[in-house]
Structure 1
Amino acid sequence: MSKRMGVFASVVLLIGLAGFGLIGPNATAVELDMIGQMGGANYAAAVAGDLLFTGIGPRLLVLDASDPNQLAELGQSEVLPGVVRALAVEDAYAYVAAGKGGLQIVDISDPAHPVVIGNYLTEGYAQDVAVASGYVYLTNTPVWDGSGWSGSGLHIVDISDPANPKQMTVYDTPGWEFGVAVVGDTVFVADGDGGLRILDVSDKTAPKEVGATYTAGYALDVAVGEGVVYVAEFDKGVGVVDVADLSNPREVKVIDTPGKARHVTVNDGTVYVGDGNGGLRILDVSAALEPVEIGAFASEDGRGVAVNGAFVYLADRQLGLHVLEVADRTSPVALSRFETVGTVRGVAADEEGGDRAYVAAGNTLYGLDMSTPERPQRLAGISLAGQVNDMAFVQKPGARGKGVLYVAEGPTWVERAWQGGGMRVFETDGAGGFQERAFFDTPGQARGVAVANGLVYLADGNAGVRVFNINKPETPHEVGFENMSGHAVDVALGQGRAHIATNGRGVDAGQANGHAISAMQRQEGTPDFARGLAVQDGMIYVAVMPDPGDPVLDGNRWPDGGLYVLDAENPAKADVARYYATPGDIENVAVSGEFVLVADGDGGLLVFQKAQ
């Protein structure tokens, strides 16, 4: 099943797995509706007059940029079937490269109500988009189809009727197509390890390669100047390619950058580079073949860049959208930032319900107000030294949002070695405040955590599952452990059983007998590459990562990564009840009363409600 089969618009499309031979004969029907979403990665920006367009996770946002000191949200699209990777704006439409959601065409004539009016679905991941003379040029990287990589190519799409885009052709290049730029009938493609490819597209049904050159680094994006092309080459920096003769392009120079060059934009004698952890780099290209870095702006993960006069808009994958004044290009000035919760890896809430939840984005914890689950609101946050992998929350009886948060914190890379990591214990005040009460170093990687009956179970990677007594949360002490045959990546508790996800071998289940887990056995029918678990009422909610090594069940391959709901009444074999595609690459899951909360990576936080 390709990723395209799992497309949804305002709600996640439920896949009827009976057609794939995956619904077990005794599976209990579970219906979930996606009712809310927040946050996600920020990869792209585009500007048109006083309107600024950006992608936050799987949504297109329209912002009023008339006052660069204070951006104001005007409207946002429905949840798209993939994460916004790139976008182009022309007239009344935004053309969105939406990852696994292909090309999404959004009517922006009413900025307060952007509406998807058309789409063009691809087999792989849509990466970049350019628009010229009634055509869209869409780059697409492949997916694994069980036997090899498929779905890559440059798609040329007729958008004369935006509601009904039509494929003209798909042109495959030697590498993986990432970035694209168009000048007249010439298309320039950043082709990964295929370098720079130059195509004549005067015949939209039959493009012809007229020139190519391999680049020093992995080509991710491309921007065109006068007789020169600038290529973002990841860890090599920015390549300078002389294209005065299109049939014989030559890379004449590579400008090293401190980060990972992922995006390039040319404007008025200047190249702006989205340089990953190098933030924004500013290159003077008044001498086109001899760029010189003249300015920079520090940011956590700089990606897409848009320019409007003296203002630059930098998309940061984790932090949101920066607004910079570059009247003096050597000293960019930060004016404002449209903040977001970035890539969501972990989520926690009290299993009985409540109007507070917690998410982890990178190494930052955020409290959320869930009183309106359709639009979760971010409260305060706290940053940790290591990456937050998972959390478990226990609310104090009768105390709104107040309780104890147990955090599985991964180790930090310091001076060529992994250091630290373990379990942190925080007391929460319900308003987003955190007060650390304890830390317990563990021998493994602290991947997942669950709480029940005064005990914490910590999935500790190659160190198995550790069990802690938390009758006094400020002084947890280890009381037992269980070795696993693989890396323990998460643990969930329910009906007296512990369910443990081990990397590459599915879910093991055993009796949770106080300080020990007994009668451990592989739970047949569970996906090999389970990433996160939650249990409620005999059902296991499993976050499954896409992987070429997915198992075969009843003669059919598992679908791509997403949220699986399994009937786990039988500890020896679980039956698949439902599968839900998600726009991002799912990381984890939590259940809170009638809600299922999904940490969807670049797709942000997804809120599902159990159907009545």
Structure 2
Amino acid sequence: MKQESLLTPDLAHNMRLVGYSDQGGRSDGVQLMVHRGYAYIGHMFSKGFSVVDVRDPQSPKTVAYVPAPPNTWNIHLQTHDDLLLVINAKDLFAAPEFQDEREYYQGALGRKVGTAQAPSTSRNWRAGLAVYDISQGDTPREIGFMPIEGGGVHRLWYVGGRWAYASALIDGFSDYVFITIDMSDPTRPREAGRFWLPGMNVAAGETPSWDASRRYGLHHPIVHGNVAYCAWRDAGLVVLDVADRSRPRLLAHRNWSPPFGGGTHNCLPLPDRDLLVVLDEAVLDHQEDGEKFIWMFDVREPSNPVSISTFPTPREADYRSKPGHFGPHNLHENRPGSFVSSELIFTTYQNAGVRVFDIRDAFRPIEVGAFVPSQPEKLMDHRPNRAKVIQSSDVFVDSGGLIYSTDYNGGLYILEFGGLR
């Protein structure tokens, strides 16, 4: 546990700290799922994933650590019932070619990794999707694996049933593409269909129409019914009809980069209001990639999404001058079984912590809560020239309203929101 002074936040507005965990000394975290009293946390730099018992949120306890295979990362994962799905992909932030993070966020990733060219026989990482049995919550047991010929899987969407959805870096493609995954037999998941933007299929001779400095690759989809809302990084928003999981088809594509900086990371549908919240990730220090926004779209007509507002940017401190990234990174995705709201949006802002927004007026989102942790105890980011600074990464809100947030350096924070006033 940190010293008490280090648990005093730099800012707390309408939010308070309930509990904290350094995740067994592996205090770097990316995506987390809270499921049946356990938090499952993918690591960015410590490899593998950890399990934290949060049944007593004031005293969370790390109960398991599952190491990743060599040269592989497990940064993203999903839970449902007795299953935990964990991505396996090349550990890019450990690779020499990506020690300058600009190289990761610019240009065709597949060309840099080597998967867009002829398949290599010398790959030293595990690529695909691992499936774990978590009927014993503190003892994940791998029961299935779907291999990917290429760089691997980046991020998933799975809320039970037959179908999962993911972004995958596959041999012959310039960057991550959309795939559907048949989970009818969890011990043998298999790819069922795929979609890519024209120009991405290098092996088929397609030529990109965008500037070579752009990252036209899928971050991940969120699926509601037969519609997949896809965050396609510098290509913006892609909406797919997935009624036929073997043949996804394009409904709409909207891109606002340029003039804005790109990096689209989440596309969260709010079906009861015909709204879509779209978040652009800040990927460089000091807003070198421009000020990034969270956008509100009207999607009453799915084939014609219309932007109607942006969320306010935190202004109470000079976060742009602070070390690290300043701007949106992730948001709570309203998973079934978690806290589901079409009036409150929970987000992470990296060096500006965790933020809560009231969107009852969709044309005028208002910040109603903020929590900025203090400087982390140690630096987990092993890349050169990185600062010891908070980088709030992911946020998950459980059905009771408790907020869980990971950090690249700082561990797991369990928070409480004071509510709308």
CA distance in 1, matches of 2:77, 2:308: 29
Output the amino acid matched with 2:328. G
Q: Is 2:89 the partner of 1:141?
A: yes
Output the amino acid matched with 1:228. V
Answer yes or no: is the 8 Å Cα contact 1:140–1:151 preserved in 2: yes
Q: Which piece of structure 1 moves more, 302-311 or 326-335?
A: 302-311
CA distance in 1, matches of 2:236, 2:126: 28
| Partner deviation per Cα, 1:526-584 (whole Å, 9 max, x = no partner) | xxxxxxxxxxxxxxxxxxxxxxxxxxxxxxxxxxxxxxxxxxxxxxxxxxxxxxxx732
CA distance in 1, matches of 2:133, 2:154: 20
Answer yes or no: is the 8 Å Cα contact 1:588–1:599 preserved in 2: no
- The 1:163/1:604 distance shift into structure 2, 3 A limit, reads closer
- The 1:226/1:104 distance shift into structure 2, 3 A limit, reads same
Alignment gaps of 5+ in structure 1? 1-9, 11-34, 40-60, 345-374, 377-581, 590-597, 607-612
Query: Which of 27, 50, 61 is the matching residue for 1:104?
Result: 50
Aligned with 1:150: secondary structure? coil
Alignment gaps of 5+ in structure 2? 97-121, 170-174, 199-215, 283-291, 314-325, 335-339, 392-407, 412-421
Q: Is 2:50 the partner of 1:253?
A: no
> What is the deviation of 1:605?
7.7
Output the amino acid matched with 1:314. T
Query: Counterpart in 2 of 1:585?
Result: 382
Q: Is 2:86 the partner of 1:72?
A: no
> What is the deviation of 1:604?
3.8
- The 1:87/1:230 distance shift into structure 2, 3 A limit, reads same
Residues 47-66 of structure 1 aligned to structure 2 (within 5 Å) = none
Aligned with 1:330: secondary structure? coil
CA distance in 2, matches of 1:605, 1:88: 17
- The 1:38/1:190 distance shift into structure 2, 3 A limit, reads farther
| Partner deviation per Cα, 1:420-466 (whole Å, 9 max, x = no partner) | xxxxxxxxxxxxxxxxxxxxxxxxxxxxxxxxxxxxxxxxxxxxxxx
CA distance in 1, matches of 2:82, 2:352: 34
Output the amino acid matched with 2:130. H
Q: Is 2:157 the partner of 1:181?
A: yes
Residues 133-282 of structure 1 aligned to structure 2 (within 5 Å) = 133-143=81-91, 148-173=123-148, 174-183=150-159, 184-192=161-169, 193-215=175-197, 217-257=216-256, 258=260, 259-268=262-271, 269-277=274-282, 278-282=292-296
> What is the deviation of 1:197?
0.8
CA distance in 2, matches of 1:314, 1:288: 24
Output the amino acid matched with 2:85. Y
- The 1:82/1:157 distance shift into structure 2, 3 A limit, reads farther
- The 1:176/1:166 distance shift into structure 2, 3 A limit, reads same
Query: Counterpart in 1 of 2:114?
Result: none
Query: Counterpart in 1 of 2:311?
Result: 297
Residues 545-584 of structure 1 aligned to structure 2 (within 5 Å) = 583-584=380-381
Answer yes or no: is the 8 Å Cα contact 1:84–1:98 preserved in 2: yes
Aligned with 1:287: secondary structure? coil
Output the amino acid matched with 2:268. T
> What is the deviation of 1:166?
0.5
| Partner deviation per Cα, 1:223-278 (whole Å, 9 max, x = no partner) | 00221111111111111111011111113322214331022323333322220242
- The 1:190/1:340 distance shift into structure 2, 3 A limit, reads same
> What is the deviation of 1:220?
0.9
CA distance in 2, matches of 1:75, 1:136: 24
| Partner deviation per Cα, 1:513-533 (whole Å, 9 max, x = no partner) | xxxxxxxxxxxxxxxxxxxxx
Say what the alpha-carbon RMSD is for the aligned residues.
3.2
Higher relative contact order (CA 8 A, sep 6+): 2
Query: Counterpart in 1 of 2:34?
Result: 89
Residues 32-51 of structure 1 aligned to structure 2 (within 5 Å) = none
CA distance in 2, matches of 1:191, 1:97: 17
> What is the deviation of 1:188?
0.2
CA distance in 2, matches of 1:38, 1:148: 46
Answer yes or no: is the 8 Å Cα contact 1:108–1:115 preserved in 2: yes
CA distance in 2, matches of 1:37, 1:339: 15
Aligned with 1:116: secondary structure? strand
> What is the deviation of 1:341?
5.6
Answer yes or no: is the 8 Å Cα contact 1:140–1:153 preserved in 2: yes
Aligned with 1:215: secondary structure? coil
Residues 204-603 of structure 1 aligned to structure 2 (within 5 Å) = 204-215=186-197, 217-257=216-256, 258=260, 259-268=262-271, 269-277=274-282, 278-299=292-313, 300-306=326-332, 308-309=340-341, 310-340=343-373, 583-587=380-384, 599=388, 603=408
CA distance in 2, matches of 1:38, 1:297: 32
- The 1:328/1:160 distance shift into structure 2, 3 A limit, reads same
Aligned with 2:75: secondary structure? strand
Query: Counterpart in 2 of 1:363?
Result: none
CA distance in 2, matches of 1:232, 1:196: 10
CA distance in 1, matches of 2:243, 2:357: 33
CA distance in 2, matches of 1:212, 1:200: 12
> What is the deviation of 1:126?
1.9
CA distance in 2, matches of 1:103, 1:229: 27
Output the amino acid matched with 1:284. D
Query: Counterpart in 1 of 2:59?
Result: 113
Q: Is 2:74 the partner of 1:129?
A: no
| Partner deviation per Cα, 1:464-499 (whole Å, 9 max, x = no partner) | xxxxxxxxxxxxxxxxxxxxxxxxxxxxxxxxxxxx
> What is the deviation of 1:133?
2.0
CA distance in 2, matches of 1:200, 1:185: 6
> What is the deviation of 1:588?
5.8
CA distance in 2, matches of 1:330, 1:129: 33
Higher strand share: 1
Answer yes or no: is the 8 Å Cα contact 1:101–1:122 preserved in 2: yes
CA distance in 1, matches of 2:16, 2:36: 21
> What is the deviation of 1:599?
3.7
> What is the deviation of 1:106?
1.5
Based on CA coordinates, which of the two structures has the bigger radius of gyration? 1
- The 1:604/1:253 distance shift into structure 2, 3 A limit, reads same
Output the amino acid matched with 1:274. L
CA distance in 1, matches of 2:78, 2:361: 29
Q: Which piece of structure 1 moves more, 242-251 or 209-218?
A: 209-218
TM-score by length of 1: 0.45
